[in-house]
Structure 1
Amino acid sequence: MNAPLPKLAAQAADGADGGRPLVVHVVHSLSMGGLETLLVDCINRMPAERYRHAVVCLTGYSDFADNITRPDVTLHALGKPPGLGLGTHLTFWRLMRRLRPTVLHTYNLSALEYAFTAACAGVPVRIHAEHGRDASDPHGLNAKHNLLRRLLVPFVDRYIPVSEDLDRWLDQVVRIPRASTLFIKNGVDTDKFAPRAFPAGAAPGGSPWHADDFVIGTVARVQDVKNHRALVEAFAAVRARRPDLAPRLKLSIVGDGPLLPAVRAQVAALGLEDAVWLPGARGDVKDLLHTFSLFALPSLAEGTPVSLLEAMACGLPVAASRVGGIPEVVDDGVQGALVPVGDVDALAAALERYAADPRLGRTHGAAGRARIEERFSMRAMLASYGDLYDSLCRRKAR
């Protein structure tokens, strides 16, 4: 985690607000990731005249926070240590008493318990979003965690699942009352993320590959749940069994995370340094997506991954795990290929199929773009969150 950003850390919470309610978003940390990208996009795109925003990071944040373009947004890092971090609750309570927000919006399990602390601090509206499950509990069966979710129902006005899979899980496994949940699909900016054509023979910038290479790409935080090592293994298998394709087969793994050194070591051990690019976190994801021929996401668990939506909006076919909310976005054989979770051979077969038949990729990519435009727009998502904030504020805020 980089040092705090002075320009944000120094901002005061006070000042003219024009009567706009303050929404405090609570996340574990703010660095490159799908959830974090969605959060930043929501803050930047919500009408500034309706709500003010602040972000509370339980641990810290990186220079990814520079993507927040609204000048009135405050950012707070609590420096929570590993474990329970009971002292962080006191720090958070004091911060809520100072900021006095109208809405608390927490994200994923690590932030959920702070809904209770916010209630004690007098925050009237409290919303919790579930964006996916952890690799250590991909099916969401951890009894202790689910008990916590149920115990906090009196302190959470709405639980927000972002996929039909998570909606069913909250209902049938966690047993959150239906009246306490609202399904809101993730959305993507289809103007920002769109197909882009290059002149014949021209290579798109931003990556080391050439225009005639077939580039398998992924954008995700490098951690267990994203299963990058399976992607590297499948990529190596395709190159080994298809020497005719191998010279132009390339792999781009964009993102940072705790397992990046291990993935670099795996690539080196397989002798693939000349064919695999691992640049770490990048601020030009939109441009890098245009250097991909195929988007791959072999995750062990997912909600509705924002990176997948962005890739499909750019007209890319996908090869992904049949897990979580991914099958709600991708029809197997229509917008891409879905493979069983953890099945490296099936993943390799999907990668090979697209590398050998570029026309298939173009057909599936066009279908993917149409699917995103039809069902996963940023406009619809923002309207849903805005309507929820408005209705709860009218009912609960004084």
Structure 2
Amino acid sequence: MEKEGPVRILFVIDQFTSSHAGTEGQLLQLLSNLPAGQFQPELLVLRPSSYVEAGKMPCKTEVLGTSRLFSLKTWLAMFKFAQRKKQEGIALCHVFFNDSSIICPPVFSLVGIPTLISRRDMGYWYTPKYLWVLRRTARFVSGVVANSAAVKQVTAEKEGVPAARISVIYNGYSASTDELSPLTPEERSSILSGLGLPVDGRFVVLVANLREIKRIGDAINAIGTVRNSVPDSHLVLIGGGNQEPYRELAVSLGVADYVHFLGERSDVRNILRAMDAGLLCSESEGYSNAIVEYMQARLPVVASNVGGNSEAVEHGVSGYLFPRGDIKQLAAYLVCILRNEDGSAQQMGECGHRKAHRRHGLQTMIDSHAALYSRVLSSRLGAPDVEVR
């Protein structure tokens, strides 16, 4: 498609509050790394946030100013915005999060701008009202980007988007050799002591915001059982959210001294290098960013067998999958990894590391999106899915 200058793409998201969150982090990578000679990104957020107001975004950013999904005022404001963007030369819209994916496709279709939507979870937010609307706005969607085959399947089934219009593009991450190389014992001790952790302990890390859907309580319950077999084991929790109920649970179970709350961190990668196992207990997952970070850090992974987790973790090869909520099995797998009697933990970590490098390189993700954008703009929607294995 011949066009003077780079193609202008508008990205839309309900709200952008942190660069460390999964969806926001992937969007930020797109905004920062799409080839400048080919694409010129802009961003619209429905609701303001301190992060956006601080001017941290790498491209032109606007706030809609009204965001109630079922308000006529919101739809009128979006229509006027879409008209202006069409006049300014926006050629494509790519939408993230729920409300934006309902309002943008029909509105931007009216002004002649094709719209892609992203799906990155198993639809835990679906309600009968949302699904009713989504099934009717699906005909305005030019394509869907799913971050796992599991998400693709649930999107097609629930929202009625034809599977041929859903492309699987796995999450992408930058990785330097220095950051991801194995630590020396001295380097590991330095990291642990800097975090206030015992240097001779063995550590299970769980990276997730402290929300009910992440089932943090399962991890806290399991660590007591794990310590019966591995007395120097500890649980390290990294993520924002209300710690109080989980601290109370740890106290009630008598494991408060072995559960460490680090809060939201910007140095997660470095911390992971000093850990022994990565854990995810979630009720639902599309494709976990945390699991990829664990694999990059050469950690064997124990994860609930939900959503796209089975696409990320090869059971018995790069880690273990346990039935959601099965604390006994979860603990048993952690004990197996921490004891490491046959040396398989290191082999699992290396296997995961190779897979992360192959599937989740940042450039792979960027190139896959660029190819999809070009395909949509060329109206070749019947081409094979963009799918990176």
TM-score, length basis structure 2? 0.84
State how far apart, in whole Å, the 1-side matches of 2:124 and 2:177 are. 30
CA distance in 1, matches of 2:262, 2:237: 7
CA contact (8 A) 2:15 2:49 kept: no
1:298-337 equivalences under 5 Å are 298-337=281-320
In structure 1, what is the Cα distance between the partners aligned to 2:16 and 2:195?
A: 28
Cα distance, 1:209 vs structure 2? 1.7
Q: Which amino acid aligns with 2:369?
A: Y
Partner of residue 162, structure 1: 147
3-state SS of the aligned residue for 1:209?
coil
Amino acid at match of 2:310: P
For 2:81 and 2:177, the matched residues in 1 are separated by 35
1:391 partner amino acid:
R
Identify the residue that residue 30 of structure 1 maps to in structure 2.
Answer: 17
User: Residues 290 and 213 (structure 1 numbering): CA distance in 2 closer, same or farther, change over 3 Å?
Assistant: same
Shift of 1:271: 4.0
Equivalent residue for 1:360? 344
Q: Which amino acid aligns with 2:196?
A: P
Please give the per-residue CA displacement for 1:255-294, whole angstroms capped at 9, x wherever unaligned: 113x533223323433434322222211112222223211
Q: Answer with 207-216 or 195-204: which moved more.
A: 195-204
1:25-44 C-alpha deviation (Å, 9 max, x unpaired): 32444323212211112222
SS in 2 for 1:21: strand
Distance 1:193 1:38 in 2: 22
Amino acid at match of 1:378: L
Residues 67-108 of structure 1: CA deviation (Å, up to 9, x unaligned): 9673x3425374646x74554334444444444433221224
- Tell me the residue number matched to 1:113: 102
1:108 and 1:132 in contact (8 A); partners too:
no
Distance of 1:56 and 1:207 partners within structure 2 = 38
- Is 2:33 the counterpart of 1:48? no
- Partners of 1:129 and 1:161 within 8 A in 2: yes
CA distance in 2: counterparts of 1:268 and 1:314, whole angstroms: 30
Measured in 2, the distance between the counterparts of 1:316 and 1:193 equals 16
Moved more, 356-365 or 125-134: 356-365
**SS class of match (1:102):** strand
In the TM superposition, residue 163 of structure 1 has moved relative to its aligned partner by: 0.8
1-structure distance, mates of 2:63, 2:376: 25
- The residue that corresponds to 2:220 in the other structure is 232
Change (3 A) 1:195 1:122: same
CA distance in structure 1 between the aligned counterparts of 2:22 and 2:176, rounded to whole angstroms: 18
Q: Please name the residue that 1:212 is paired with.
A: 200
| Alignment partner of 1:124 out of 113, 120, 127 | 113
> For residue 224 of structure 1, what is the amino acid of its counterpart?
E
Tell me the distance in 2 between the aligned counterparts of 1:204 and 1:48.
40
Paired residue for 1:11?
Answer: none
Are the structure 2 counterparts of residues 88 and 69 from structure 1 closer, same or farther at C-alpha, using a change threshold of 3 Å? closer
**2:176 pairs with one of 174, 187, 191:** 191
The question of 1:345 aligning with 2:328 is answered yes
Contact 1:321 1:340 in 2 (8 A): yes
Q: Distance in 2 between matches of 1:268 and 1:223?
A: 19
Q: Secondary structure at the match of 1:279?
A: strand
> Displacement, 1:119?
1.7
Secondary structure at 2:246's aligned position in 1?
Answer: helix
What is the 5 A alignment of 1:84-103?
84=70, 86-100=72-86, 101-103=90-92
- Between the aligned partners of 1:329 and 1:97, the Cα distance in structure 2 is 41
The counterpart of 2:27, out of the listed 15, 33, 39, is 39
Match of 1:147 among 132, 139, 144: 132
Ranges in structure 1 where 5+ consecutive residues have no aligned partner:
1-16
2-structure distance, mates of 1:336, 1:75: 43
1:286 matched to 2:269: yes
1:375 aligns with 2:364: no
Q: Secondary structure at the match of 1:251?
A: strand
What's 2:387 paired with?
Answer: none
Q: Post-superposition shift, 1:380?
A: 1.9
Are the counterparts in 2 of residues 153 and 180 from structure 1 also a CA contact under 8 Å?
A: no
- Change in Cα spacing, 1:175 to 1:69, as seen in structure 2 (3 Å) is closer
| Mapped contact 1:26–1:58 kept (Cα < 8 A) | yes
TM superposition shift of 1:350: 1.4
Q: Deviations over 1:307-330 (max 9, x none)?
A: 211220121110001111111111
- Give % identity: 22
Instruction: Measure how far apart 1:193 and its partner are.
Output: 8.8
Count of residue correspondences: 369
Cα RMSD over matched residues? 2.9
Task: String of CA shifts for 1:174-229, please: whole Å, max 9, x gaps.
Answer: 43223332222222334379533333344142522243321111212221221111
**With structure 1 as the length reference, what TM-score do the two structures score?**
0.82
How many Å apart are 1:379 and its aligned residue? 2.0
Query: Is the contact between residue 10 and residue 44 of structure 2 (CA under 8 Å) also seen in structure 1?
Result: no
Q: CA 1:78–1:230 in structure 2 vs 1: closer, same or farther (change >3 Å)? A: farther
SS of the residue corresponding to residue 130 of structure 2 reads helix
Q: Distance in 1 between matches of 2:160 and 2:178?
A: 37
The AA in structure 1 aligned to 2:344 is: L
Asked if 2 retains the 8 angstrom alpha-carbon contact of 1:337 and 1:350, the reply is yes
